[in-house]
Amino acid sequence: MEMSQIEIIPFGFAAGAEVRGLDLSKPLEPADLATIKAAWLKHLVLVFPDQDLSAEDQIAFSRNFGELDPQESQAPETLHPDHREILVLSNKVESGKKSGTHNSGRNWHTDLTYTSRPAKGAILHCKEKPSVGGDTMWANLYLAYETLNPNIQQLLEELEAIHDVTLIRGLEQRSPDVIAEMKQRNPPMIHPVIRLHPETKRKSYLVGERVRGFVGMSDEESRHLINMLNEHATKPEFVFRHRWRLGDVVMWDNRCTSHVALGDFDQTQPRVMFRCSLEGEEETGRPFERPQTDDRAAMAQAVAAVS
């Protein structure tokens, strides 16, 4: 029996490891798949260098780790024309029009929290890249939670957060039809702040820069807490930064990380990534129903109460 040639090389303490010795265009041996899954749970973000995958290859590899998201939350024109399982992240101009994903991922977020079923994970393949820059950073949300004061941990146990697709940074720069479709497809969604990873049983917290506020809290109260939690989660000691190379395949565990795609590159140079998202194991969200309060009537009642 041939021995596995897989080598796992950690990149940092918080997250990230490189996996060498595999050609992902070929079916995985059961032992190799088990090794990858164990490394994924341990390192949260895995980098497979020098991969030359077709769309079909990437889809087949991704299916080793779960069901693929049906992409119903995405605008159809941002999907691969022949494979709806793939979201095309591109800054290219086609027919004089910017791609609907030309500035995607520019603030800290966990994928698809603006839906009822946040992604389990994602597999991203670097197809084209600028000469420098265009890095992606991931934050380890286990460490973020575990290093909080116990009193803050207790506060978060009962909290629910409102995730809003309109808070995607740069959304307003996209075409009006893409914006309208994103809003129509993805109304604000409520999720518990604390998450228990279904496999590792470790806790993390789900916030990020696409959170509008917390249920039952004022905007001011929410803002201060959101800022504190996001600043804490993205401290350098909790973050892994990946400098992309052509052909890299990166997969991450969306159940315990957040990430940001940096715009630190010459925007006239192409940056093209193919992403498969793994469907979340369960629906944790419910739609946010805005209070049907007449502001003028509420103001009049407030004035009457103190007069």
- HEC letters along the chain: CCCCCCEEEECCCCCCEEEECCCCCCCCCHHHHHHHHHHHHHHCEEEECCCCCCHHHHHHHHHHHCCECCCCCCCHHHECCCCCCEEEEECCEECCEECCCCCCCCCCECCCCCCCCCCCEEEEEEEECCCCCCCEEEEEHHHHHHCCCHHHHHHHHCCEEEECHHHCCCHHHCCHHHHHHHHHHCCCEEEECEEECCCCCCEEECCCCCEEEECCCCHHHHHHHHHHHHHHHCCHHHEEEECCCCCCEEEEECCCEEEEECCCCCCCCCCEEEEEEECCCCCCCEECCCCCCCHHHHHHHHHHHHC
109 has catalytic annotation? yes
Q: Which one is catalytic: 43, 69, 102, 111?
A: 111
> Is 275 considered catalytic here?
yes
Catalytic residue among 102, 109, 117, 255: 109
From the candidates 117, 191, 259, 271, give the one annotated as an active-site residue. Answer: 259
Backbone angles phi, psi at 247, to 5 degrees: 95, -10
* Nearest-10 Cα torsion for 187, 239, 61, 77: 40
The residues that are catalytic are 109, 111, 259, 275
